[in-house]
Amino acid sequence: MRTQVGIIGAGPAGLLLSHLLHLRGIESVVLELRSREHVERRVRAGVLEQGTVDTLVASGVGDRLLREGLVHQGIELRYGGAGHRIAFDRLVPGRSVTVYGQQEVVKDLIAARLAVGGDVRFEVRDVALHGLDTASPSITFEGGRLDCDVIAGCDGFHGVSRPSVPAGALTEFSRDYPFAWLGVLAQVKPSASELIYARTERGFALHSMRSPEISRFYLQVPAGEPLESWPDERVWAELKTRLETVPGFTLATGEILEKSVTPMRSFVVEPMRYGRLFLAGDAAHIVPPTGAKGMNLAVSDVRVLTEALAAFFGEGETGLLDGYSDACLRRVWRAQHFSWWMTTLLHTFESDDAYGTRLQTSHLDYVTSSEAAATTLAENYVGM
Ligand code: RFL
Ligand code: PHB
């Protein structure tokens, strides 16, 4: 088999790249390890920046997103017995975020690819990359081989693309956190109209949502926490303890539909390219989810890569491809800093003494009382 761009991974990055390339008349084949059902059911991100929404809508995959997505004009920071609204509508007028599940974006993109006969293959095992430093790289997999001009590594943090690059060619930057997030999807009407980011002495909690009937919650738990330690009753009790901290707020409970534990990590690889291999999304960088940036960065990488590939296949122009990594890394590092900052602002760190806790409170007081500090949070949250 032969194609122009071999794409590894059918997450938001790989699928959107395939879709945008198709709109530019560039052929691709997407090779995904897991089944279609698996990728469409994988519950993950939920907050889309305006730029992400604009990209999806402009490329024709935003109809359901515009119908079902929930536009949010602010978030609440809850700590010390009070809630404080960060009002995007006032601080960064005209900019907002949209709450719409990542797996819904993935469903919409798969449907769009298949509707025009796009080649997206699921359950493809043993993917291996070859000839990355030549002009004709290839991908082999169980039962096949794909020759291409360019390979896009969109296979997430645990994929094969990044490890296929020879040792020493890439530099890694990373930070691990001593905690994880227990994520919960529940059949219950959200107890608030906006997201609540809560800092308590027992750890961080987040109240998010997916629809008027479905709520999404996260609890800070120790790193490596087994899911078995969190039966449903314990989840609800802990969410109530961490969220019912302001007068008049009661958390509605319901059936828990899904539960998982996610480690928290910051990671960047530089450059995001080796020869004819271009890394995009989580394959190149991950952030702790506190800033809601991961999927938005994946979309932004893919936007940059599409322009570069269009210039390459259209005019034989390599300048944009050569500038791909630097163009992405500027935004990536801004999101790295913001995500680390939100994480340190809101989580409890075992290493923190009373001094550290006081500093964190002072930091929160500053962000919730200074217009300048609140604007910094708001403009980063809605997307730079
Ligand atoms: P993905 O989604 O991980 O997709 C990679 C795909 O590659 C496949 N794959 C392979 N295919 C073939 N061969 C192999 N050897 C392969 N190895 C892997 C995988 O099966 C998968 O289908 O990466 P992509 O496309 O770069 O997308 C990135 C996003 O998924 C990620 O950044 C976000 O989910 C992060 N994130 C959030 N981002 C936001 O923008 N806003 C949020 O509110 C937000 N919340 C979150 C999050 C991530 C979370 N978790 C679970 C990590 C909340 C959580 C809890
Ligand atoms: C989510 O709804 O999944 C979500 C919301 C905000 C975050 C992270 C995840 O910061």
The answer to whether 159 touches 128, Cβ cutoff 8 Å, is no
Q: Is the CB of 39 under 6 A from ligand 1?
A: yes
Cis status of the peptide bond prior to 247, with omega within 30 of 0: no
The answer to whether 277 touches 164, Cβ cutoff 8 Å, is yes
Longest CA pairwise span in the chain (Å): 64
- Ligand 1 geometric centre to CA of 44 (Å): 7
pTM (two decimals)? 0.97
Q: Using a 6 Å CB cutoff, which residues line ligand 2?
A: 45-47, 195, 206, 208, 216, 289-290, 292
The answer to whether 236 touches 211, Cβ cutoff 8 Å, is no
Rg (CA), the chain: 21
| Domain 177-264+349-382: CATH architecture, name and number where available | 2-Layer Sandwich (3.30)
What confidence score (pLDDT) does residue 350 get? 83
Q: Is 239 helix (H, G, I), strand (E, B) or coil?
A: helix
> DSSP code of 281?
G
Instruction: Give domain limits for the chain.
Output: 5-72+96-174+265-341, 177-264+349-382
| Superfamily designation of domain 5-72+96-174+265-341 | FAD/NAD(P)-binding domain (3.50.50.60)
What does the alpha-carbon distance between residue 249 and residue 194 come to, in Å, rounded to a whole number? Answer: 13
What does the alpha-carbon distance between residue 39 and residue 32 come to, in Å, rounded to a whole number? Answer: 9
- Ligand 2 geometric centre to CA of 185 (Å): 11
Q: Is 323 helix (H, G, I), strand (E, B) or coil?
A: helix
> DSSP code of 353?
-
For residue 190, which amino acid is it?
Answer: P
> DSSP code of 354?
H
Q: Is the CB of 12 under 6 A from ligand 1?
A: yes
> DSSP code of 136?
S
278 Rama class: left (phi>0) / alpha (psi -120 to 50) / beta: beta
pLDDT in tens, 280-299: 999 999 999 999 999 999 99
- 190 CA to centre of own chain: 22
pLDDT in tens, 143-185: 999 999 999 999 999 999 999 999 999 999 999 999 999 999 9
Q: Is the CB of 159 under 6 A from ligand 1?
A: yes
Q: Is the CB of 48 under 6 A from ligand 1?
A: no
Q: Hey, what long-range contacts does 350-356 have (CB within 8 A, 24 or more apart)?
A: 350/178, 351/178
What does the alpha-carbon distance between residue 141 and residue 128 come to, in Å, rounded to a whole number? Answer: 6
What confidence score (pLDDT) does residue 240 get? 98
C-alpha pair distances (Å), 113 with each of 60, 100, 107, 295: 11, 20, 10, 19
Residue entry with tokens 């003494």: 353
What confidence score (pLDDT) does residue 297 get? 98
Q: For the chain, give the number of residues.
A: 384
Name the stretches of the chain with pLDDT < 70: none
